[in-house]
Structure 1
Amino acid sequence: METPNQKPASSRSWMVAAVLLTAGMIIGFVVASDLGWLSNGHAVPDGGGAPLVRPVATAPQPVLPGMGSQTFVEIAKAVKPAVVNIYATKTGKGDGAHATPFDDPFFRKFFGDEFFRRFEQQQPKEKKERGLGSGVIVDSNGLIITNNHVVGKADEIRVTLSDKREFKAKLIGTDPKTDIAVVKIDATNLPTVAWADSDQLEVGEFVLAVGNPFGLTQTVTLGIVSALGRAAGIAEYEDFIQTDAAINPGNSGGALVNVRGELAGINTAIFSQSGGNMGIGFSVPSNMARSIMDQLVKTGKVVRGWLGVSIQELTPELAKQFGVLDTKGVLVSDVMDDSPAKKAGVERADVIVEYDGKPMDSPTHLRNAVAQTPVGKKVSVKLIREKKPKTIDLAIVEQPKSMTQSGEEESAETVAPTGILSDLDVRELTDEVAGRYGMKSTERGVVVVRVKPGSTAEETGVREGDMIIEINRQPVTSLKTYERIAGKLPADEAVLLLLKRQGRTIYLTLRP
């Protein structure tokens, strides 16, 4: 007998069947959708045959500002054929080439010629040092630019192209001061990379590094321009592009290209504590590399322009001393005799703010600009003198072969004045003092023989052996003038020193 709350068995069975039927339809729909049996506009059966499998979409390649319609894939395809492997071999003498006791006739007689011959045979006569790097084809007739440290001292240079062809290369010329070298192979119709104007590069811009790290051919890495105008202390003339594109050993001499596939730099060095990439790589800018290459190809050597000034960074302290509103500019600490600058009227303490139409913001920038100026070219130099703007026109001449002064050169008396200069001990410039510090006894000034450890002077950069030639723009010609000027200095004011160090003059500001 049914209770009031009970439902007929037939009703319960119907409900279970309905639930199962609904679940089956849902599962079937999901499976059919996953297998592509349902029409979705992308994959439909072909004439009633097997269903088409919908392909996984490829991520779209980014097209960045300035790239035009190119993608990184297209840039890499265009550049890689113009980047080559360079194998450089240097043959040197091994240990067996050094003199030994057996070269002495007495030892030969004592041990016998047979023993001597066997000893000789066991010694290496020569050893071969092999270097591996990269290069960039910049002329279809086989002209290749690379680094000096890759091929500079090689006895044999071999180049392998992207199509596996191998050539023996001829060294056209090298420039250790910028670490640039040019080699040539006997081939024609080669792929090349167009030059970029590296002056147009900006920090944050995408770049690709192409080379052969660790001998792995045709490797491309992506990064950005991290900084410009870097000096890394590895070459005499440096204006490096810094990038975080992965650069490793073997990349040296390879290409750094911009988003238009143009050669913006020659990869040269890495900053690394492990020997591998740490996200800091340096490249010689294309404008500098191209200028050096052109000279090497035409004359086999590099001729640099010369202005004839000693220059230094314009710090906020120095800018205040010389009445300059900001630190954009380069401070002239000395003007050399018989130089273009001297003849044109450039003076010590001038602040150069523009050279040949380009603003100058660092000594490195100005030095490189002058060096790359063609000899004989007339340039305009804008500067600030005594807080007033001034323009000077001059003609650049060839840089002298030696611009360093040779030195020769203590006093019985040491002076330690009170006040801000009390951290320095100085002496008259005598033959004895001059001889100790490599100076000329005919020079005028006093020599710092001791700097108090931990003092402001030491922290500011004053060193033993510095010659003080000016205090607050007043010349120091002797110990007496030094004492007279130093004795009148207010204890609570900054002091501007002009120092001579290893033939160069620099300004320093000491603050109480």
Structure 2
Amino acid sequence: MKTKVIKLSGIALAVAALSLGGYNFANHSIGTAHASPASATMTSPAAASAAPSAALTLPDFQSIAERYGPAVVNISVEGTVKTSARGQSPLGGMNPNDPFYDFFRRFGPQIQVPEGEQITHGMGSGFIVSSDGVILTNAHVVADATQVTVKLTDKREFTAKVIGIDKPTDIAVLRIDAKDLPTVPLGDPSQTRVGEWVLAIGAPFGFENSVTAGIVSAKSRSLPDEGYVPFIQTDVAINPGNSGGPLLNLKGEVIGINSQIYSRSGGYQGLSFAIPINVAAQVRDQLMTHGKVTRGRLGVAVQDLNQALANSFGLKAAHGALVSRVDTDGPAAKAGIEAGDIILGINDERVGSSAELPPKVAAIPPGETVKLEIWRQGKSRDLTVTVGELKSAQVAANDSQDMDQGRLGVAVRPLSPEEQQQIESTAGLLVLDSTGPAAHAGIQRGDVILAVNGKAVSSIEGLRKDLAAVGKHAAILIQREDARIFIPIELG
């Protein structure tokens, strides 16, 4: 069964009848547990009273829920979807046992239902960050809604205005016309540690102000198609309706916005993901000030490093973001960054993996100058880059599916002028067949070999010389369809 990342949108098509199944509820109380040291011998009452007693105190979720629960709101949305024209049988609710049922089923006319609109309803959660009515939630909760209603814990309801939506980070900012509202303080996700207790408040399946708890499972998680959010992973129970609700630490500070689950069944399976609140706060500020979100851009495609690639580039540890392509006339190209460079840090902040680079760059205002630490030809160096404005993002994925008939094991030919124009490169050799080390590493027929260890390849003889000059490991830059990726090769 395929595992899916699911955005917990409550949007669903309205239906003629709604049936609710039975629910079983179990109440669990969290209190204080006391442990006394075990003793194998009898002690006097005086000695026993003098002996220290150990007390294990569980997290005080109750106080946090009581204090900050009123700042968590229930969001219901209404929208419309267009329906196409379709044929409909005139049988309607006709009894199948009716003697004319089979006649009409076979020979009755089809009634043509014209195009129209159907009302949709959805639900989610949010939380108040300003006493004058500013609310944060997920973009997918309110996207395409024609009406958004916010309900407070005191049963008051308000029609909310959508201030702005940022789909790349899945953040939306709402405002309701109210004053002196309860709020929740915002924390610092960078201070959050793996294993730390956290709790979520929201409206799973419409059950308002429900509290669930768990721990932080991991930080800076990268999810498919979510390149600008370093998610906080938890094992807090999150279900449809929790979307947009807060993830709080034991200080009662919001450290994230509950957004997605990873599931094979479509329901909660212990893997929940929250958007760090610092990412959401940056988006909120830009949406409220400018009405849109701008992001920084380097103009590179990057991929992750494994140990084999690190060895090929003479890097001891497999950390950093490997540049597989540099956009022509982009900020990185103007600064001298080349394919094969490994970005180790940005403004003295370490880049541990390729997934960490996009959100770091996106957070930098366009036009600002940054210092990049890169690894090139066996040593590190610093480059200065003026960050551009992001229009569209590209991140290369290392799919590793895939004759100099010697060390590499490929049969190749030079590219024709038309092929060079197609891939926008004057270098490159087309792979006609792949065996040995190349096939084992995933190079396949139709790939174009562009470089060996960062050195451009334009002829078969040049490829042989480049391979003869490297040691046991080589990093081969190839183009596969529209993506350029480095593939590590064990040459032996």
TM bracket (short chain): 0.7 to 0.9
Taking structure 1 as reference, are residues 136 and 477 closer, same or farther at Cα in structure 2, changes over 3 Å only? same
Matches within 5 A, 1:211-290: 211-290=202-281
Alignment partner, residue 137 of structure 2: 146
Taking structure 1 as reference, are residues 425 and 133 closer, same or farther at Cα in structure 2, changes over 3 Å only? farther
State how many pairs are aligned: 416
Alignment partner, residue 429 of structure 1: 415
The answer to whether the 8 Å contact 2:313/2:475 transfers is no
Letter in 1 for 2:383: I
Matches within 5 A, 1:294-313: 294-313=285-304
Mapped to 1, the partners of 2:30 and 2:326 lie a distance apart of 63
3-state SS of the aligned residue for 1:149? Answer: helix
Matches within 5 A, 1:187-202: 187-202=178-193
Alignment partner, residue 65 of structure 2: 76
Partner of residue 447 from structure 1, selected from 417, 430, 439: 430
Letter in 2 for 1:444: A
The answer to whether the 8 Å contact 1:312/1:332 transfers is yes
Taking structure 1 as reference, are residues 234 and 484 closer, same or farther at Cα in structure 2, changes over 3 Å only? closer
3-state SS of the aligned residue for 1:302? Answer: coil
Mapped to 2, the partners of 1:384 and 1:402 lie a distance apart of 23
3-state SS of the aligned residue for 2:301? Answer: strand
3-state SS of the aligned residue for 1:505? Answer: strand
Taking structure 1 as reference, are residues 478 and 168 closer, same or farther at Cα in structure 2, changes over 3 Å only? farther
Letter in 2 for 1:238: V
Partner of residue 79 from structure 2, selected from 86, 90, 99: 90
Letter in 2 for 1:445: G
3-state SS of the aligned residue for 2:373? Answer: strand
Mapped to 1, the partners of 2:213 and 2:67 lie a distance apart of 15
Alignment partner, residue 493 of structure 1: 472
Mapped to 1, the partners of 2:444 and 2:237 lie a distance apart of 39
Taking structure 1 as reference, are residues 450 and 216 closer, same or farther at Cα in structure 2, changes over 3 Å only? farther
**What is the CA-CA distance between 1:58 and the residue it aligns to?**
9.1
Structure 1 stretch displaced more, 378-387 or 149-158: 378-387
Percent identity for Structure 1 against Structure 2: 39
- Unpaired runs of 5+ in structure 1? 1-56, 63-67, 101-115, 406-415
Please give the TM-score of this superposition, normalised by the length of structure 1: 0.73
Taking structure 1 as reference, are residues 119 and 350 closer, same or farther at Cα in structure 2, changes over 3 Å only? closer
Taking structure 1 as reference, are residues 456 and 173 closer, same or farther at Cα in structure 2, changes over 3 Å only? farther
The answer to whether the 8 Å contact 2:326/2:333 transfers is yes
Partner of residue 509 from structure 1, selected from 467, 488, 492: 488
Taking structure 1 as reference, are residues 234 and 386 closer, same or farther at Cα in structure 2, changes over 3 Å only? closer
Partner of residue 60 from structure 1, selected from 32, 53, 66: 32
**What is the CA-CA distance between 1:344 and the residue it aligns to?**
2.9
Q: Indicate whether 1:155 and 2:146 are aligned.
A: yes
The answer to whether the 8 Å contact 1:61/1:71 transfers is no
Alignment partner, residue 134 of structure 1: 125
Mapped to 1, the partners of 2:247 and 2:146 lie a distance apart of 27
Taking structure 1 as reference, are residues 324 and 181 closer, same or farther at Cα in structure 2, changes over 3 Å only? same
Matches within 5 A, 1:14-29: none
Of structures 1 and 2, the one scoring higher in RCO (CA 8 A, sep 6+) is 2
Alignment partner, residue 318 of structure 1: 309
**What is the CA-CA distance between 1:349 and the residue it aligns to?**
2.8
**What is the CA-CA distance between 1:312 and the residue it aligns to?**
1.9
1:135-177 deviations in whole A, cap 9, x for unaligned? 1211111111111111112122111111111111111111111
Partner of residue 393 from structure 1, selected from 384, 404, 419: 384
3-state SS of the aligned residue for 1:278? Answer: coil
1:194-233 deviations in whole A, cap 9, x for unaligned? 1111122211111111111111110111111101111221
**What is the CA-CA distance between 1:69 and the residue it aligns to?**
12
Letter in 2 for 1:509: P
Matches within 5 A, 1:315-394: 315-394=306-385
**What is the CA-CA distance between 1:464 and the residue it aligns to?**
4.9
Larger radius of gyration: 1
**What is the CA-CA distance between 1:260 and the residue it aligns to?**
0.8
Mapped to 2, the partners of 1:450 and 1:187 lie a distance apart of 69
Between Structure 1 and Structure 2, the one with more strand by share is 2
Taking structure 1 as reference, are residues 441 and 296 closer, same or farther at Cα in structure 2, changes over 3 Å only? closer
- Unpaired runs of 5+ in structure 2? 1-28, 35-56, 89-108, 397-402
3-state SS of the aligned residue for 2:404? Answer: coil
Please give the TM-score of this superposition, normalised by the length of structure 2: 0.76
Mapped to 2, the partners of 1:338 and 1:278 lie a distance apart of 46
Mapped to 1, the partners of 2:469 and 2:337 lie a distance apart of 29
Mapped to 1, the partners of 2:395 and 2:439 lie a distance apart of 26
| RMSD (CA atoms) | 3.3
Letter in 2 for 1:494: H
Mapped to 1, the partners of 2:469 and 2:306 lie a distance apart of 22
Mapped to 2, the partners of 1:161 and 1:450 lie a distance apart of 65
The answer to whether the 8 Å contact 1:244/1:280 transfers is yes
The answer to whether the 8 Å contact 2:405/2:411 transfers is no
Mapped to 2, the partners of 1:171 and 1:459 lie a distance apart of 53
Taking structure 1 as reference, are residues 431 and 214 closer, same or farther at Cα in structure 2, changes over 3 Å only? farther
3-state SS of the aligned residue for 1:293? Answer: helix
3-state SS of the aligned residue for 1:324? Answer: coil
The answer to whether the 8 Å contact 2:311/2:473 transfers is no
Taking structure 1 as reference, are residues 468 and 365 closer, same or farther at Cα in structure 2, changes over 3 Å only? same
Taking structure 1 as reference, are residues 489 and 300 closer, same or farther at Cα in structure 2, changes over 3 Å only? same
Q: Indicate whether 1:469 and 2:450 are aligned.
A: yes
